Each structure stands twice: as C-alpha cells, then as structure tokens.
Amino acid sequence: MTLQDQTLPALKPAAVRQAIGLLWTSLAIGALKLPLDWAYLSSRASVAFNAFVIIFTFAVTAFFIWKIGQGKNWARIVFLVLFLLGVVPFVLIVRPEFARSPTSGLLSTVQFGLQAVAFFLIFASPGKEWFQSRRG
C-alpha cells in the first residue's frame, strides 16, 4: 500500500449513499407523520413529555445517520441493534395504528421498510467492506 492509498479515503459506494438517503427519508416521514399522531400522543402523555421524547428521538436518529454517513462502523452496529429492538414494538403497535389512522399506519410501514432496506445495503457488499476498511 502506498502513502497515497493510506491518505485517500475509499470512495463511498453507491449502496451506502442510497442507504443514507433512505434513512434520512425515513426520518423525514417521521416528521410528516407527527401531525397525524399528535391527538393520540397528547391523549397518552403531556405535551412536554411528548416534545422531549420526539426531539430526543429525532436527535439520536439524526446523529446515528450522520455518523453512518461518515463511515463509523460502530454507528451502523448500534443503530442496527436499536432497529432490531424496535421490531417487536413495531409489530405490536402497527395494527392499532392502522385502526386509528390508515395513513399513519402506512407511513410507519414505509419507514420500517426504508430502514430495513438501508440496513441491508450497509451490511451487505459493497457497504460492508467500505465500513470495515474505515475501521483502521
């Protein structure tokens, strides 16, 4: 490996760029879905609590997407673990969500799908190799 190879970062594969776009799109859908869910959320908890949870969740999600975009392997692993921890709650809440608002349920399902495809792209080749090459 030459000095030039060591100083030039590997180009981000198209699959990783697509995954990052899917994750940002998923986050944007969450923001669009918020007005649809607000009446239900505010009936379950105070406005202050909901605002805190929503802002915290969006900030943490944006942080992980940003770090994944920078090629941080730990970020894609931690974000995958958080996604997997959310699968069971998603399965349990999506049906009642469809009952309350079909649009909200559909948007939640689209979010889930976008995230699942994004994780496939960053954990399959060539995304996997790009993240592994950046660990050093």
DSSP string, the chain: --HHHHHSPPPPPHHHHHHHHHHHHHHHHHHHHHHHHHHHHHHHS-HHHHHHHHHHHHHHHHHHHHHHHTT-HHHHHHHHHHHHHHHHHHHHHHHHHHHH-HHHHHHHHHHHHHHHHHHHHHHSTTHHHHHHHT--
Q: What is the pLDDT of residue 134?
A: 80
Structural domain contains residue 117 = yes
Structural domain contains residue 2 = no
Structural domain contains residue 38 = yes
Structural domain contains residue 8 = no
DSSP string, 103-126: HHHHHHHHHHHHHHHHHHHHHSTT
Over its length of 136 residues, how does the chain's per-residue pLDDT go in tens digits? 444 444 445 799 999 999 999 999 999 999 999 999 999 999 999 999 999 999 999 999 999 999 999 999 999 999 999 999 999 999 999 999 999 999 999 999 999 999 999 999 999 999 999 998 887 5
Structural domain contains residue 7 = no
Q: What is the pLDDT of residue 136?
A: 58
What are the residues whose beta carbons fall under 8 Å from the beta carbon of 18, sequence distance 6 or more? 118, 121
CA nearest 115: which of 56, 28, 35?
28
In whole angstroms, give the CA distance from residue 64 to residue 69.
8
Q: What is the pLDDT of residue 9?
A: 56
Structural domain contains residue 26 = yes
Structural domain contains residue 4 = no
Query: How many independent structural domains does the chain possess?
Result: 1
Structural domain contains residue 106 = yes
This prediction has a pTM of 0.89
Q: Residue 134 has which token pair?
A: 């950046």
Q: What is the pLDDT of residue 135?
A: 72
Q: What is the pLDDT of residue 113?
A: 98
Q: Which domain holds residue 28?
A: 15-133
